[in-house]
Structure 1
Amino acid sequence: LSMTKRSMYIEKNCSEQPEDRVHVVPGQSDYLFVCPLLRTREWYARPQEQRQEMMEESVRIGSKYRSVRLHTTYSFGLDDQEFVVAFETDKPSDFLDLVQELRETKASAFTLRDTPMFTCRQRSLAECLDALG
């Protein structure tokens, strides 16, 4: 369970209108990768300015992968994780490279858990039912 809300970290790095970022609008990409995200207590003990700098590094990296679209929802107190992130793409190899590069960021050291990762394929209901046999 998670909900949408405006991120405090991407105001100046986002080309979308602020009101657009509180709605998750699924695209038509072939793949969707979904995972929970839980930060460490040390992350929240850091000043907001330091967290902002670390998140800006992640945003810069993410912006290099134009084929990957990110959706972030929030779960504080609603579920076992703090965030649920979903990445849409037609190019799983770009997603793989993105995650590999994000693992090397300063913010990554403050990730307590980001599993399980769910890999999903875009299919119509009829295709799903046919696949069941």
Structure 2
Amino acid sequence: YDLDVFLTDWLTNFSTPEGFSIGNDAELEEADDSGAQVKLKGHDLSCDEVKSHLENGKRVTKLALDWQERVKFMLQNDGSIKRLSYSETLKEENADIPKEDMAVKLDADFILASEEIKQLLEDLTQGLGDAEDL
């Protein structure tokens, strides 16, 4: 299943499913087999330059997203998630557990991270919907 149709639609319309927002990194590729790529890092993805690439037929193969200001990640068109990072707010949720209770803290951090990823994947799956709706 190739997600580039969704990623391209989101960036073209600068609109994402509820709870998600577009970050500042993306990779675009020519739709043909030429292999031409544009890599954007720390870039305003709503600018005219990016719109021009999309209007000229490039498709989005990687897009940085932020989920509920809690988790940032790079979604790739093959469905993989890279560069996953948690917000400071999320990292601090278990800060009240004393460092002496390292095993308890590790368990709590694992449960917290697992629940966040589970909810992120549920929201992402629901947000993707059906390509035919695009």
- By relative contact order (CA 8 Å, sep 6+), the higher-ranking structure is 1
TM-score, normalization by structure 1: 0.25
| Structure possessing the higher radius of gyration over alpha carbons | 2
- Larger fraction in strand: 2
